[in-house]
Amino acid sequence: MSDVPTARDNDSTTGDDATVPAAPKWGRLPTAPAVTTVLTEILKHGPIPRIEVARRTGLSQTAVTKAVARLAEHGLISAHDHRRSSAPGRPVQPLSVHAEAALAIGITVRVDAIFGVVTTLRADVRHSIHRPLASTVPAAVADSVATVIDLLLADLGPDAERVLGAGVAVSGEVDSDLGIVRNSPRLNWTDVPLRDLVRERRELPVLVDNDVRALSVAEEWFGIGVDANSFAILTIGAGIGCGLYVNGDIVTGDHGVAGEIGHLPLGPSELLCTCGRYGCVETVASTSAIVHAIRTTRQDPLLTMREAVALARGGDAVARGAFERAGSVLGLALATVANLVGPSSILVAGESVANYDLFDLRLREAFEAHVFGSAGACTIVAKSHTFEDWARGSAASAIQALVKGKLAAQS
Ligand SMILES: [Zn+2]
C-alpha cells in the first residue's frame, strides 16, 4: 500500500534517544458491578447530573453516590464533582470523568505497518506513532508491537504509570477471551496466540481484538452509538468489514464471525474472492478489486490506486465504472444489513472513504432500491478515517475491557 507512511509522524516531547521508563505499576479500575455501571454511564454521557445516572442505570441515588465516591478515591472523578452540594440553592455539579487519570494504548496491525496511539480514558488521542512492518511472521509482529509500546511509553515519560493496558487489533477472526487470532487471511495467520506473544515481551494487560469490532466499541462509547439502540459500521478499504451493534450489544456471534459483509455473495458470480469463494462483495469493492478491474480493462498492470482515483475524478469511463460498480454492490450490502438489523444509522469508514465521492451516488441508489420499508429510515454517514482511527478503536476496546474488569482478569 503506497500511502502508508514509514516514519514516525508525531514527535514526542522526548527525543529518539529517550530511555524507556521502568515497568509501570499497572493499576486497575474499581470493578464492583454498580461502580462499573456508573463509570460507564459517566464515560458515555458525562457531564451528566447524578439523578440522570440513577435514572439511566436503575440504581438508587444512594448507590450512585457510593459508586461515585469510590471512583473519586481512584481519581477518576474530579474532586469537586463528587461532593454532594450541602448548601440550599447551590447547583450540583454534573459528573464527568477525569479523562487523564488513566491512559490506554491502542495498536492496529496492518500488513505493512503498525500504528499505535495513547489515549485518555475517553479515547482522546494524546500521542500517535507508526512503524513499518517488514514481516508478518507472528514473532516479528509481536516484536514490533513491543517496540511501539516502548516508544509510546517513552513519549509519556512519568505519565506512563497511568497506562492501564493495551488493545491490539488485527483483521480476521479473533478470540478475545483467549487472546488468539484464529484466522487472519491478510496476515496469513491461523491460531496465533498474539496476546501471549506480546505479554512475553512486555508486562502489561493486553486485549487482542478484531479491528472492526474495536472500531465499533469506539463508536459505541464515544461516537454515534452513545444514544443509539442499534447502529452499523461499514469499513471500506483493502477489505470490506462491518461492525454491528444491536439492541445495546456489539454482535460477536458464537464462532468469532459476524458482520462479514465483504463475503456476502452480492457480486458477479464468476469473480473469485481471496477467501476462495465466488461472487463476494470484496471481489468488486475492495481497493485491490477496483484497481485490478481498471488495470485489466486499460491493460495497464502498474496502475496504482492513486492513479485510478485521479482517472475516475477526471471522467475516465473505465475508472468511473469500476468505482460505480463497487458503490452498487456496497449499496446492496448495506440494504441487506438494514433489512436484517434495522440500525438507526450506518457509518461508512475506512481508508477508501477518502474516495467516497466516487461511490456515493451508486451506493445510495442501490441502497434505496433494495431497503425494505421503515429500515430505509436508517441514515448513512461517511466519516473521514485514518489508520490512527483504527488504533484509537483498539484503545477504546481496551478501555471498555478495563472498565468491565475483563482486562485486569487476564493479567
Ligand atoms: Zn470472499
Q: Does residue 53 contact residue 43 with C-beta atoms inside 8 Å?
A: no
pTM: 0.87
Nearest Cα neighbor of 375 from 336, 318, 322, 409 is 336
Tell me if 125 is assigned to some domain: no
Tell me the CA–centroid distance for residue 190 and ligand 1, in Å. 17
| Residue 341: HSE in the Cβ half-sphere, 13 Å Cα cutoff | 29
Which pLDDT score is estimated for 6? 36
Tell me the CA–centroid distance for residue 270 and ligand 1, in Å. 12
| Domain boundary residue, one of 43, 68, 99 | 99
Cell of 152: 509510546
Tell me if 138 is assigned to some domain: no
Domain of residue 263, residue span? 231-341+351-384
| Burial class, 19, CB count within 10 angstroms (exposed 0-12 / middle 13-18 / buried 19+) | exposed
**Gyration radius from the chain CA atoms:** 22
Which pLDDT score is estimated for 274? 87
Tell me the CA–centroid distance for residue 156 and ligand 1, in Å. 42
As a whole number of angstroms, the distance between CA 148 and CA 145 comes to 5
Tell me if 303 is assigned to some domain: yes
Tell me the CA–centroid distance for residue 330 and ligand 1, in Å. 14
Tell me the CA–centroid distance for residue 167 and ligand 1, in Å. 27
User: Which residues, including other chains, have CB under 8 Å from residue 46's CB and lie 6 or more apart?
Assistant: 94, 95, 96, 97
Count how many domains the chain has. Answer: 2
Tell me the CA–centroid distance for residue 267 and ligand 1, in Å. 10
Note the Cα 138 to chain centre separation in Å.
21
Cell of 76: 477518576
| Domain boundary residue, one of 99, 124, 153 | 99
| Domain boundary residue, one of 58, 80, 99 | 99
- CATH number for the domain including 276? 3.30.420.40
Tell me the CA–centroid distance for residue 276 and ligand 1, in Å. 6
Which pLDDT score is estimated for 90? 59
Tell me if 306 is assigned to some domain: yes
Indicate left, alpha or beta for 259 from its phi (over 0: left) and psi (-120 to 50: alpha).
left
Tell me the CA–centroid distance for residue 290 and ligand 1, in Å. 15
Tell me the CA–centroid distance for residue 252 and ligand 1, in Å. 19
Tell me the CA–centroid distance for residue 282 and ligand 1, in Å. 6
Angle at CA of residue 94, ends 93 and 100, nearest 5°: 100
Q: Which residues surround ligand 1, an ion (CB under 5 A)?
A: 263, 273, 275, 277, 280
Tell me the CA–centroid distance for residue 263 and ligand 1, in Å. 4
Print pLDDT tens along the chain (411 aa). Answer: 333 333 333 333 333 333 433 333 455 778 789 999 999 999 999 899 999 999 999 999 999 999 999 898 888 886 455 555 555 565 677 999 999 989 999 999 999 999 999 999 999 999 999 999 999 999 999 999 999 999 999 999 999 999 999 999 999 889 999 999 999 988 999 999 999 999 999 989 999 999 999 999 999 999 999 989 999 999 999 899 999 999 989 998 887 778 899 999 999 999 999 889 999 999 999 999 999 999 999 999 999 999 999 999 999 999 999 999 999 999 999 999 999 999 999 999 998 999 999 999 999 999 999 999 999 999 999 988 889 999 999 999 999 999 988 885 454
Tell me the CA–centroid distance for residue 281 and ligand 1, in Å. 7
Which pLDDT score is estimated for 187? 94
Tell me the CA–centroid distance for residue 307 and ligand 1, in Å. 26
Contacts 24+ apart (CB under 8 A), 64-72: 64/34, 64/38, 66/34, 67/32, 67/34, 67/35, 67/37, 67/38, 67/39, 68/38, 68/95, 70/30, 70/32, 70/35, 71/30, 71/35, 71/38, 71/39, 71/42
For the chain, the residue count is 411
Which pLDDT score is estimated for 384? 83
Q: Which amino acid is at 3?
A: D
- CATH number for the domain including 43? 1.10.10.10
Which pLDDT score is estimated for 263? 94
